[in-house]
Chain A
């Protein structure tokens, strides 16, 4: 009895002492180490872009391994060729087999190599599109239909080894062409062709394709897959054959860009660059590899960052305020803040009376003191926003968008709102009274009577639960309070996300709600969120906003393939939306990030949506040690 106890105790004590005494394993200098919070689920591009299109999969694989014909040059997000040698040729109408198509010729760089040192040719490019079209992008699901849009793309033809022709069914807008098809992933034909062939023979080709687990797949991106220890880490290594290594991208003041590759001699420039050079970015990768540690919670990630086990915390939501405060005092750690491309907003069900009255919505918008909540209540965690295009998206943002009620005091706001409501025919049982001098509400409004003479029934304003999003929760509670001050019987109802989501998209049975969107750089969301063809169940216009004038303008915007014209139209759309208020845009939060500045150097840290949006700049970061 005693003996084995002694043995056990000895063993345990030995282990404990050893565990404390023996140091951990030192990091190798060449690895760029990041933390992620969820397991990547697949390294198969098709599922990672299809049904498993999680941000984590994108961080560790999709954004690292693959290249495309064109891309957006960071940090200014300017449309530039990547694997393509130059901009695509103008779209031309062409008759093929009795049908009229639009076509465009794209030339491909000759210096691009796959990681197995074979050249990336027109065969690969054509395959990348045609194979997916054959599979049916809708069946692949996820982002595939927006990348290889079967509504637009008919076929990609190889003209010669380094030239392809895109055959399009219809004239595409910017969203479908420059920001869609042309930025599709390029695949290695010799690797994937047999996989597709095998999948095709299976009973369920899509399932078969998804089930494929790539190994030794040749890639053309900066990194390639090295190791995946499920639940612990993913390791990528630098692609030795990466063609763009050493390539210098120069940004000029006038918005033009030049790309130069000193190794292969490739050169490209947009327009005639003049003026000051804003920034020069040299492409890497400079690290031997990247390591993604999978951590269970934020605190662990922050402790690891301070402890030096991690160089950057990858999280699409950024870091919380509390961490920022504490990290800014840590040695060797730098925190950065960036604007986010998105917004949180409030919406009414415009199918219902009196929510369809514009003045009613305007009155609500005026009543909301975004600045007060953001600055006072939320201490600058959030910043107020008025337009559906965030100011950070500087190319598309219209600085003249009206900002209802901005800068007014509490009572001035009430005064304005009451005026608007009266204008629309609302009356009160007890009209709110204010004292402008003292900025005080002397009597709260009660019993709002609608223009049709009926007393307005109280309605639910669905907001997020405090656990899900304390910011929207706080905002929502305050909004309901202000509405009640003028007698609008709005009840804030904390509701869980799934229920809100169901109410909006499955049943459209709701009065008002507080939601949020995150956006892409190209502001085509204005079309999707407000076009009347999206008002059906499951559509993206659940509030039921319907305005033929807007629809027309939005359609024109979508069809426009000229950047400048599109921009003008976008400005007009923004103004219209700020007046009609199908969404009452409220606020958004800056994205806070932190990195080990004693180990890393980024070419830039100011970029819309933060470094995470671009995979933490794995290909341009420099390691200092």
Chain B
């Protein structure tokens, strides 16, 4: 019941947003998604930085292969059989696709303006690119379909209004935003059961996604003591506490346990 009321309210909100007519246009995806850096209003020398590497112990489970034989157009985009991206391990047990964000320590009441550059979510070869990413509340996400077939994008969210839109043709785009902080919002495609993406919605720009080598960096942090939390779709979460004074750069390495 409550959820429904929210959805209605959220609906009205979305209506007002859409009515501004933000008809999305195709844009080139930004390089390896480090939204925090690109979207930090106070970017640059000011503020401290947290960098680190995400690793995991144990053996990474094998990613199941995806049978795309019923989607010739997607299958054609791969030389080898594509697999899911549940655990993307780098050299030396580096762990990619981990969402790292400051879960506590950012002074309450401090507000940050969302960057105007949209995050592009590309559906290409019947997979989501990127697989894990972060946005700020109110920041545009531009969903685009690069496959000549139907994808539907269903957002399963608790704090945000769920949506379910579809893109039958290649080149179609749709812009959406999230109204409330939520880690994580799940995106899925019901036409292709294997397609999943995860969005971390944050009120501040202090978040990052670990790269193929497991490294990440959160910049522009004002002095203070922060709890950073790392989220992985299979391995759960890890936290660490970091104290920043001035413009120094601290390292925080986090390690997950593969079970």
Asked whether A and B interact, the reply is no
Interface residues of A (CB under 8 A from B): none
